[in-house]
Amino acid sequence: MVGNFIADHVKGSQIESFGAGVKDGIMLHRCIDAYTDGHPVVRESVIRLRPAFRKYAGVIVDMFYDHFLARYWSDYAETSLEAFTTNCYKVLQQHAGPLPGRSSRMLHYMERDNWLLAYRETGGLDKAFQGMAHRTTFYSGMENAVEALLEDYDNYLSEFKLFFPDLVIYAQQIRVGFKNHT
């Protein structure tokens, strides 16, 4: 969980400064990102958004899919989303010492605003997009992303429901591979 959380903030050889479990989490996160980016269903979602959001379309689709996962959590998990999020924040706080600076700062805001739970509602997703739009170097249009989601909600939801079971199978296979090599 810790490796997955910090993966985007760990560059190059920095990965060597972490223990095996965190390294596995970082590598799992990177494998999932690559699989997701190359999946034909995800590409369809991205293609629809690209005219309006250009290079940010992939990030926006990731967040749309996070919304669908949170909204339909009980279809994919036995534990409640509330219990899962509480456990995530607890685990991440227990390991806050070795978190890279950006991850540590992000965790503060993530927990304070309960992003993992807030994404379940389009209002929570919109708040995240508004914040990201203010932090991008170039114009992103992300402040309009929820509007784009609502205009084509059923298509994005259908694509998520086609994609996510594939991702679950892929992630399970990758995790087995990690266990066989450690």
**pLDDT tens across 98-111, in order?**
788 788 888 888 99
The maximal CA–CA distance of the chain, rounded, in angstroms, is: 46
pLDDT exceeds 70 at position 180:
no
State the pLDDT at residue 101. Answer: 76
The pLDDT > 90 percentage for the chain reads 74
CA distance 10 to 93: 18
Q: Which of 119, 95, 118 is nearest to 107 (CA)?
A: 95
DSSP 3-state assignment of 100?
Answer: coil
Tokens encoding 102: 């950006």
Tokens encoding 119: 């994404």
**pLDDT tens across 166-177, in order?**
999 999 998 776
Q: What is the mean pLDDT of the chain?
A: 92
CA distance 154 to 124: 19
pLDDT exceeds 80 at position 55:
yes
- Sign of the torsion angle spanned by Cα atoms 9, 15, 20, 25: positive
Average pLDDT over residues 114-135: 93
Tokens encoding 51: 């005219």
Cβ distance 68 to 157 under 8 Å?
Answer: yes
Q: What residue has token string 């339909």?
A: 72
Tally DSSP H helices, then E strands, for the chain: 10, 0
